Amino acid sequence: MKVLVTGANGYLGQGIVKQLLNDGNEVIATDFDLKYVDDRAEKSIVDIFSIDNPYEHFSKPDVLLHLAWRDGFKHNSNAHLEDLPKHYSFIEKMISGGLKQVCVMGTMHEIGYFEGCVDENTLCNPMNLYGIAKNALRNAVKILCENNNVIFQWLRGYYIVGNSKFGSSIFSKITEANECGKKEFPFTTGKNKYDFLDYDEFAVQVSAVCTQNDVNGIINICSGKPVSLADRVERFIKDNNYDIKLKYGVFPDRAYDSDAVWGNNDKIQKILKAKRL
């Protein structure tokens, strides 16, 4: 398939583009900078929001995989609400041009405070601007796709484990701190339980979803298992042989973080099983 990947130079985009290419797909990668993107991809450095007919501009892709998003780890940045209409307008232009499949990266922050297993029918009550904007985009694009008979796939991402210092996750920050020679890392209590997925597996799941159209709608990109933050971070430090220790209780747990939340992985497992056949 020919897949247009926006935000391709980002932390997630780099690995997902590589996985899509490894899976035999043609990839058009676009971002403001593409220096970390696999050279097998067709590259287009451009502001996607400035293009009048993006579907034609990007050579009529089979699928739009929309990863582009500003300030994803700054949960209450005003950029989330400022950029929301731009994301919608871009996707609307793609569909008006002739696009037949839309796949957008979402977030578990759409859910808000919730305890237990999240599936596609779980009610959303986002508690930060990031989650509010993503949730609004999901609802708007769903209606847009339904009205235009376009396949709609919403990838609800959870917590990603990777040792790249270029990301903004706690794992990236620990990697950077270790490389700087720091011996302690300020931490929360670490008691909250989340759904963690290794970076490479995350890329495998995203590639599998957007290159099929039998399973659609909201799809959790997840492991389906709750693990305490402390246990997963301690294991991450051990697996990477880092000489750094967690300093517990320095930061308070955020009010909008659930005690235990994880994704239902039935749909993604169905997709992965079909890919293996």
- pLDDT tens digits for range 27-77: 999 999 999 999 999 999 999 999 999 999 999 999 999 999 999 889 999
- Token pair, residue 208, equals 């599998």
- pLDDT band at residue 16 under the 50/70/90 scheme: very high
CATH 3.40.50.720 domain position(s) in the chain: 2-160+196-222+263-276
Which CATH number describes the domain made up of 2-160+196-222+263-276?
3.40.50.720
Query: What is the average pLDDT score of the chain?
Result: 96
Look at residue 257 and tell me whether its pLDDT is greater than 90. no
CB 157 within 8 A of CB 194: no
pLDDT at position 271: 98
- Rounded Cα–Cα distance for residues 248 and 250 (Å): 6
pLDDT tens digits, one per residue of 83-100: 999 999 999 999 999 999
* Residues carrying an active site annotation: 130
Helix/strand/coil for 124: coil
Please state, for a pLDDT cut of 90, what percent of the chain lies above it.
93
Q: Give the count of alpha carbons within 13 A of 96, CB side only.
A: 10
Q: Are the C-beta atoms of residues 165 and 176 closer than 8 Å to each other?
A: yes
Over 80: is that where the pLDDT of 256 sits? no
Cα pseudo-dihedral 218, 256, 172, 189, rounded to 10:
-130
Q: Is the pLDDT of residue 201 over 80?
A: yes
Buried b (16+ CB within 10 A) or exposed e, 180-196: eeeeebebbebebbbbb
For residues 52 and 61, the answer to whether their CB atoms sit within 8 Å is no
Residue 168 has pLDDT above 80, yes or no: no
Prediction pTM value: 0.94
Residue 166 scores a pLDDT above 90: no
